């Protein structure tokens, strides 16, 4: 972290709530998530940058894998437990656990306890982890009271709220609030902003054709905004919508994770993408 | 139109998606329903409170079901109603048919009842040679067309106005040649009116059964339930046992939730409480009343931990707001009950073995639960059915192997990360200009959309490398 940034952080931290005063003493475990790990590492680095700017002491446990949704949503409770054991062990001793995804955060926060109903020891450990697990964008605002400073990004964006973030975790205002501080960026509201995009994890592969109809409606709404960028907080939705847009030949709009924009990485990512086209 | 079977769900979906106008026709109804419901809820500030109250009423009645059933039976009998019990749909249909035969009924009128469909009463009546007259306008339309219902509130929503014009011209004795909706409705009214008055037996469903009075409540907009029930000598109600509520005072908050959630109306045109056969001084009404109380899997749902589903008041809001229903329509589900509520109910009414695919046809986006007037956690129940179906090994073997392989891998983080990094290398082989159009093992995805090209290394590889560089740089 640069000297300048840490000074700015100290100032903003001091003006904030008591919890935020102590944030630098809190250890934040960063759970990368599969899609960010394999498909979009820049979201992971952007998240760490933002968390550090917000004054967090971020650690990335190297022994991490997946939140377990593919097994849970398929009804494989035993498989889910097998995956959850190591996640709980890896992350339970942090003060906070943060994930750059509403759906993976929701999995740990809401669903881990579902599969440990008959195991009181692990149920308690799962509940303990659930209580300190947060989705990145809501964590930055609700817990850290973070505001991006001196971030510039030219263009207009529209925002897709992922169902898990919006309905299960109440993420709505937080990303919009932070994005409003980015210089040069205009918001163009999306019709049906919280309507499902048809991703649904394994759903989009199992029922590819239904999913296709759903995402086609989403892309229609996205294109109607005439925004330059589609932003969101979940890679699954973004990959789904962006993949459909590209299949339809719409290269005029670029999908980015909100963290990439807030961390000031967007210009570079878009530049690199354009170079490859 | 043939009735789809739940076990052919994949094929049903393919056929539904291939129908060029289906989506547009569905959306005409569901979009309007969504808007009107939203307006009604916005004008009903105590909605959240009412919803909790409604849930409590339902939960309480379900918890003390045996008590309220006994009370209902006693009070209905005191009014002169004959109460029958049916543990299966078949049994229920047989009871109704037997009553029809006893009275040598040649013609029966029916007001819309999803339970009637559930127990197969339409078919049973048709097969017995009794003339069955559906009196709800939408049911009338699908009876003429020979279709099964595609929605629990608007059973003919899959039929366009053009279809209706054609059907009425073909089947009505004195058809209209106007294409105006009011003229079409008049045409149906003309056709039905004589049938109402010449019916031997009227059969209805029930929206609520009141335990403390033994009454049955019907909620309609057309008045057809009243005309079905009043003129004939005999009235038969078929109702699921979950329709019970303790009293009128308990039914009212549920009524407020029902009409707003179903059509966005504050109230419907007709809400009638039927109280047994006519009394000596009554001007009209049936001389004989029967109520057939149907279990058909409901007590088993209670035993299987699915009691939350018994709260359902059949408003249809979950399907109106379901992204999957809106694209495939009701017939694809192959059941009387489509959409989210149907995907939970059908496995209990039919079997999970034949209806497990529907439980997966859901993105778990939570919209249905958000709009449910009695807080049924539909996504949780669908997920629970997936878990049951997993345990009973109903899923296709390939799905099971893929998920099992995933879990084996994901519980070993080192191995998981290694395989992820190999996956990235593999994916890069198929990338062109930042996108993957197709590659092995991603057919489900790339069939309809492109896949973004990953970066050269996984996050973990890059993160470890940068950490190493930092520490060797002496920081």
d(CA A203, CA B382): 13
Instruction: Chain A: give the shortest CA distance to residue B208, in Å.
Output: 31
Instruction: Count other C-beta atoms under 10 Å from residue B429's C-beta.
Output: 9
Tokens representing B121? 């009463």
The DSSP symbol for A145 reads: -
Instruction: Chain A: give the shortest CA distance to residue B43, in Å.
Output: 21
User: Do the Cβ atoms of A157 and A184 come closer than 8 Å?
Assistant: no
* DSSP for A216-235, written as a single string: HHHHHHHHHTT-SEEEES-H
pLDDT tens by residue, B428-459: 999 999 999 999 999 999 999 999 999 999 99
Grade residue A4 by pLDDT with cuts at 50, 70 and 90: very low
Checking if the pLDDT of A159 tops 70, the result is yes
Which uninterrupted H or E stretch holds A98? strand A96-99
What is the pLDDT, as a whole number, of residue A233?
A: 98
Whether residue B305 lies within 8 A of chain A, CB to CB, comes out as no
What A114-122 contacts at long range (C-beta under 8 Å, 24+ apart), as own/partner pairs, is A114/A72, A114/B380, A114/B383, A115/A72, A115/A77, A115/A80, A115/A81, A115/A84, A116/A81, A116/A84, A122/A81, A122/A85, A122/A88
Instruction: Tell me if A41 and B462 make a contact (CB, 8 A cut-off).
Output: yes
What is the pLDDT, as a whole number, of residue A16?
A: 42
What is the pLDDT, as a whole number, of residue A276?
A: 76
User: Do the Cβ atoms of B372 and B382 come closer than 8 Å?
Assistant: no
What is the pLDDT, as a whole number, of residue B1?
A: 66
> The dihedral of CA B177, B183, B184, B187: what is its sign?
negative
Grade residue B340 by pLDDT with cuts at 50, 70 and 90: very high
d(CA A195, CA B469): 44
> Which chain A residue has its CA at the smallest distance from B329's CA?
A210
3 state SS of A117? coil
What is the 3-state composition of chain B as percent helix, strand, coil, each rounded to the nearest 5?
55, 10, 35
pLDDT tens by residue, B126-156: 999 999 999 999 999 999 999 999 999 999 9
Q: CA nearest B235: which of B288, B275, B163?
A: B288
For residues B75-89, b (16+ Cβ closer than 10 Å) or e, as one string? bbeeeebebbebeeb
d(CA A49, CA A263): 6
What is the pLDDT, as a whole number, of residue B472?
A: 84
What is the pLDDT, as a whole number, of residue A25?
A: 77
What is the pLDDT, as a whole number, of residue B247?
A: 98
Q: In terms of pLDDT, which residue wins out, B369 or B174?
A: B369
Instruction: Chain A: give the shortest CA distance to residue B131, in Å.
Output: 40
A and B: number of Cβ contacts within 8 A: 202
The residue-averaged pLDDT of B194-205 equals 97
Q: Tell me the domains of chain B and their CATH numbers.
A: 32-299 (3.40.50.10420), 397-472 (no CATH)
The residue-averaged pLDDT of B383-410 equals 96
Checking if the pLDDT of B236 tops 70, the result is yes
Instruction: Tell me if B459 and A36 make a contact (CB, 8 A cut-off).
Output: yes
pLDDT tens by residue, A27-67: 999 999 999 999 999 999 999 999 999 999 999 999 999 99
The residue-averaged pLDDT of B392-397 equals 94
Q: Where are the alpha helices (DSSP H) in B43-180?
A: 47-63, 65-78, 89-102, 114-118, 121-127, 137-145, 161-171
d(CA B339, CA B362): 9
Instruction: Tell me if A77 and B387 make a contact (CB, 8 A cut-off).
Output: yes
Mean pLDDT (chain B, rounded): 96
Checking if the pLDDT of B387 tops 90, the result is yes
d(CA A126, CA A103): 17
What residues contact residue A140 under an 8 Å CB cut-off, 6+ apart?
A: A50, A51, A54, A146, A174, A178, A262
The DSSP symbol for B40 reads: H
Checking if the pLDDT of A7 tops 70, the result is no
Terminal Cα-to-Cα distance of chain A (whole angstroms):
33
pLDDT tens by residue, B273-319: 999 999 999 999 999 999 999 999 999 999 999 999 999 999 999 99
d(CA B326, CA A146): 40
- Mutation pick from A41, A110, A242, A276 vs chain B, by most beta carbons of B within 10 Å, is A41
d(CA B160, CA B332): 18
Q: Is B97 exposed, middle or buried (0-12, 13-18, 19+ CB in 10 A)?
A: middle
> Which chain B residue has its CA at the smallest distance from A205's CA?
B444
pLDDT tens by residue, B54-87: 999 999 999 999 999 999 999 999 999 999 999 9
What is the pLDDT, as a whole number, of residue B374?
A: 98
User: Do the Cβ atoms of B385 and B349 come closer than 8 Å?
Assistant: no
Instruction: Tell me if A79 and B414 make a contact (CB, 8 A cut-off).
Output: no
The CA-atom distances, in angstroms, between B303 and each of A36, B90, B348, B441 are: 42, 21, 11, 41
- Chain A residues within an 8 Å CB radius of B433: 276-277
pLDDT tens by residue, B152-192: 999 999 999 999 999 999 999 999 999 999 999 999 999 99
- Residues B70, B71, B74: CA angle, nearest 5 degrees: 85
User: Do the Cβ atoms of B300 and B88 come closer than 8 Å?
Assistant: no
Instruction: Chain B: give the shortest CA distance to residue A271, in Å.
Output: 12
- Residues B222, B225, B230: CA angle, nearest 5 degrees: 125
What is the pLDDT, as a whole number, of residue A23?
A: 74
d(CA B418, CA B161): 59
What is the pLDDT, as a whole number, of residue A273?
A: 84
- Predicted model pTM: 0.94
Q: Which of B13, B327, B457 has its CB closest to that of A214?
A: B327
Instruction: Chain A: give the shortest CA distance to residue B440, in Å.
Output: 13
Q: In terms of pLDDT, which residue wins out, A117 or A13?
A: A117
Grade residue B471 by pLDDT with cuts at 50, 70 and 90: confident
Q: Which of B410, B445, B448 has its CB closest to that of A65?
A: B410
- Chain B residues within an 8 Å CB radius of A90: 413
What is the pLDDT, as a whole number, of residue A17?
A: 43
Checking if the pLDDT of B124 tops 60, the result is yes
What is the pLDDT, as a whole number, of residue B192?
A: 96
What is the pLDDT, as a whole number, of residue B407?
A: 97
The DSSP symbol for B336 reads: S
User: Do the Cβ atoms of B157 and B25 come closer than 8 Å?
Assistant: yes
Checking if the pLDDT of B473 tops 80, the result is no
Q: Sheet of B435-436: strands edge to edge?
A: B431-432, B435-436, B451-452
Q: Tell me the domains of chain A and their CATH numbers.
A: 3-142 (3.40.50), 148-276 (3.40.50)
What is the pLDDT, as a whole number, of residue A22?
A: 65
What is the pLDDT, as a whole number, of residue A1?
A: 37
The residue-averaged pLDDT of B376-388 equals 97
């Amino acid at each position: 972290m640069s000297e300048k940034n840490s000074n700015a952080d100290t100032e903003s931290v001091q003006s904030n709530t008591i919890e935020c005063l102590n944030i630098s003493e809190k250890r934040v475990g960063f759970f990368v998530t599969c899609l960010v790990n394999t498909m979009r590492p820049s979201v992971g680095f952007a998240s760490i940058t933002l968390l550090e700017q917000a004054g967090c002491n971020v650690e990335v446990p190297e022994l991490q894998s997946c939140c377990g949704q593919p097994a849970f949503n398929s009804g494989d409770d035993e498989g889910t437990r097998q995956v959850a054991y190591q996640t709980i062990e890896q992350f339970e001793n942090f003060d906070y656990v943060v994930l750059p995804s509403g759906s993976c955060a929701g999995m740990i926060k809401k669903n881990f306890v579902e599969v440990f109903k008959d195991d009181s020891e692990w149920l308690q450990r799962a509940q303990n982890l659930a209580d300190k697990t947060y989705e990145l964008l809501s964590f930055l605002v609700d817990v850290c009271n973070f505001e991006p400073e001196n971030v510039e990004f030219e263009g207009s964006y529209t925002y897709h709220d992922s169902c898990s973030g919006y309905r299960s975790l109440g993420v709505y205002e937080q990303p919009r609030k932070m994005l409003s501080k980015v210089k040069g960026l205009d918001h163009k509201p999306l019709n049906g902003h919280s309507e499902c995009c048809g991703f649904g994890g394994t759903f989009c592969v199992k029922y590819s054709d239904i999913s296709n109809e759903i995402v086609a409606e989403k892309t229609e709404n996205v294109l109607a905004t005439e925004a330059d960028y589609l932003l969101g907080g979940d890679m699954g939705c973004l990959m789904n919508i962006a993949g459909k847009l590209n299949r339809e030949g719409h290269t005029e709009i670029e999908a980015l994770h909100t963290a990439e924009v807030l961390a000031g990485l967007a210009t570079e990512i878009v530049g690199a993408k354009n170079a490859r086209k | 139109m043939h009735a789809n079977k739940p076990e052919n769900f994949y094929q049903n979906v393919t056929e539904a998606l291939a129908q060029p106008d289906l989506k547009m026709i569905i959306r005409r109804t569901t979009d309007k329903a969504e808007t009107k419901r939203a307006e009604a809820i916005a004008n009903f500030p105590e909605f959240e409170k009412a919803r909790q109250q409604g849930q409590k009423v339902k939960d309480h009645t379900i918890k003390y079901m045996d008590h309220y059933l006994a009370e209902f039976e006693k009070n209905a009998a005191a009014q002169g109603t004959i109460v029958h019990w049916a543990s299966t749909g078949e049994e229920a249909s047989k009871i109704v048919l037997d009553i029809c035969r006893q009275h040598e009924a040649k013609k029966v009128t029916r007001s819309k009842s999803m339970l009637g469909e559930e127990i197969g009463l339409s078919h049973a009546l048709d097969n017995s040679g009794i003339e069955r007259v559906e009196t709800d306008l939408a049911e009338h339309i699908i009876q003429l067309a020979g279709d099964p219902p595609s929605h629990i509130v608007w059973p003919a929503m899959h039929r366009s106005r053009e279809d209706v014009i054609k059907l009425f011209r073909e089947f009505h004795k004195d058809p209209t040649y106007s294409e105006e909706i009011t003229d079409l409705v008049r045409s149906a009214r003309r056709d039905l009116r004589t049938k109402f008055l010449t019916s031997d037996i009227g059969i209805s469903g029930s929206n609520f059964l009141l335990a403390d009075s033994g009454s049955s409540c019907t909620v309609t907009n057309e008045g057809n339930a009243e005309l079905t029930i009043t003129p004939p000598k005999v009235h038969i109600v078929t109702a699921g046992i979950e329709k019970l509520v303790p009293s009128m005072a308990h039914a009212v908050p549920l009524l407020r939730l029902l009409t707003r959630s179903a059509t966005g109306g504050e109230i419907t045109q007709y809400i009638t409480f039927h109280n047994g056969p006519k009394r000596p001084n009554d001007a009209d009404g049936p001389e004989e009343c029967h109520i057939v109380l149907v279990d058909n899997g409901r007590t088993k749902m209670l035993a299987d931990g699915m009691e939350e589903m018994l709260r359902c008041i059949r408003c249809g809001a979950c399907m109106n707001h379901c992204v999957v229903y809106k694209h495939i329509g009701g017939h694809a589900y192959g059941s009387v009950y489509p959409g989210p509520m149907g995907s939970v109910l059908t496995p209990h009414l039919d079997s999970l073995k034949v209806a497990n695919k529907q439980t997966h046809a859901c993105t778990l986006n939570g919209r249905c639960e958000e709009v449910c007037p009695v807080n049924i956690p539909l996504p949780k129940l669908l997920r629970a059915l997936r878990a049951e179906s997993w345990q009973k090994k109903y899923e296709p073997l390939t799905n099971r192997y893929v998920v099992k392989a995933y879990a084996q891998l994901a519980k070993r983080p080192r191995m998981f990360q290694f395989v992820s990094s190999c996956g990235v290398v593999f994916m890069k082989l198929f990338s062109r200009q930042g996108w993957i159009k197709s590659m092995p093992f991603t057919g489900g995805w790339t069939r309809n959309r492109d896949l973004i090209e990953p970066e050269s290394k996984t996050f973990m590889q890059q993160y470890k490398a940068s950490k190493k560089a930092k520490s060797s740089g002496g920081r």
